[in-house]
């Protein structure tokens, strides 16, 4: 098959490209070239997806069996690419998010749950919001139609080449050793998915021409926060590394050492109304369609190996513009703040 990937090549796009090439498909990538380089073996077309002229240049003289869109964040972006590709590709996979659902968090969500209200013709340049992914979905469906569109509502993606800094941050924190602040309830369950498993499932559906919608993440109840942290400690922590569990309350108490959920201690989701139900995604439809998820220990091992062996990232393109480096992890608590909390509560 001939497959077009819309988006960067640093994480999810890279996983799609790597597996598509391994399966013998022809792959074209379209992006600005501001993150890490494209994989060897793909046809590279540079351009800005916000530019109708750039997309027109992309499609001139080309056609594909399928498109995979991993990068649209604004409905106008999705509408533009889908409109110009409608006659040039047979099938459109749009990677959305579980956050596009109105009841994400408070209730268990299924594919039939209500989406957030965001029209397909939402003007461009909107500030970030969960509803924008829902608008992107509607834009693609309007252009390609339900019979040619596959929507994958992604759970939290982890694995090698992750630039969001969640699993990498915890592994590198364990590598520093000592007493490690472990937040909240150790038996709180999580739902995360290896980026390679996500891409493999998406490619299986794409090659079969499958339309529809799938919540794509691991089944609930397979991983706890205790297992997450202990696996990271076993892989990366030197002898004597100790997990010190501190309940939600002290970490949320007002004051200079109040901890921001999710970001300062990545993936910590305390028992608060906005966080308590965050891992409530029914992925049974995807499982029935063939989704298979590897054990977390394998993902953590491979991510740690990548972290230890990766080369420094040059995030400057040919024109000297700075992009988003693969290793620019943006999360994690300051060491001094962590030590103050441990001294008080640990």
Same domain for 21 and 150?
yes
- Confirm whether pTM is higher than 0.85: yes
- Element (DSSP H or E) covering residue 302: helix 296-309
Residue 143 lies in a domain: yes
User: What does the buried/exposed string (b/e) look like for 200-216 if buried means 16 or more CB atoms within 10 Å of the residue's CB?
Assistant: bbbbbbbbeeebebbbb
Same domain for 59 and 32?
yes
Same domain for 42 and 180?
no
Same domain for 114 and 185?
no
- pLDDT-derived band at 38 (thresholds 50, 70, 90) equals confident
CA angle 278, 281, 286 (to 5 degrees): 150
Mean pLDDT of 175-188: 97
State the average pLDDT for the chain. Answer: 92
Q: Which residue range forms the structural domain that includes residue 330?
A: 167-190+221-279+296-345
Same domain for 181 and 306?
yes
pLDDT computed for residue 192 by the predictor: 97
Same domain for 72 and 101?
yes
Mean pLDDT is lowest, of 152-156, 271-275, 342-346, for 271-275
User: What is the rounded CA–CA span in Å between residue 321 and residue 251?
Assistant: 39
Mean pLDDT of 71-77: 96
């Amino acid at each position: 098959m001939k497959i077009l990937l819309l988006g960067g090549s640093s994480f999810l796009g890279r996983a799609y490209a790597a597996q598509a090439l391994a399966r013998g498909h022809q792959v074209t990538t379209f992006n600005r070239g501001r993150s890490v380089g494209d994989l060897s073996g793909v046809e590279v077309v540079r351009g800005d997806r916000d530019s109708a002229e750039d997309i027109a240049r992309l499609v001139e003289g080309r056609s594909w069996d399928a498109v995979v869109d991993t990068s649209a964040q604004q409905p106008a972006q999705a509408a533009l690419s889908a409109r110009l590709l409608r006659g040039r590709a047979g099938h459109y996979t749009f990677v959305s998010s579980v956050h596009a659902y109105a009841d994400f968090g408070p209730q268990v969500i299924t594919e039939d749950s209500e989406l957030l209200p965001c029209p397909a013709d939402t003007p461009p340049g909107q500030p970030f919001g969960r509803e924008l992914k829902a608008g992107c979905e509607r834009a693609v469906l309007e252009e390609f139609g339900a019979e040619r569109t596959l929507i994958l509502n992604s759970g939290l993606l982890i694995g090698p080449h992750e630039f969001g800094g969640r699993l990498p941050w915890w592994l590198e924190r364990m590598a520093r050793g000592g007493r490690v602040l472990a937040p909240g309830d150790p038996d709180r369950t999580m739902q995360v998915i290896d980026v390679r498993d996500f891409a493999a499932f998406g490619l299986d559906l794409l090659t079969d021409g499958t339309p529809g919608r799938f919540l794509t993440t691991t089944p609930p109840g397979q991983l706890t926060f205790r297992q997450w942290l202990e696996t990271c400690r076993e892989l990366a922590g030197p002898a004597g590394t100790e997990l010190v569990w501190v309940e939600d309350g002290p970490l949320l108490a007002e004051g200079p050492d109040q901890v921001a959920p999710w970001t300062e201690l990545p993936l910590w989701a305390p028992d608060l109304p906005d966080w308590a139900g965050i891992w409530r995604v029914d992925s049974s439809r995807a499982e029935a369609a063939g989704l298979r998820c590897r054990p977390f220990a394998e993902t953590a091992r491979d991510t740690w190996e990548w972290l230890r062996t990766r080369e420094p990232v040059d995030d400057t393109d040919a024109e000297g513009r700075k992009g988003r480096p693969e290793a620019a992890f943006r999360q994690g608590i300051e060491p001094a703040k962590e030590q103050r909390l441990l001294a008080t509560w640990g």
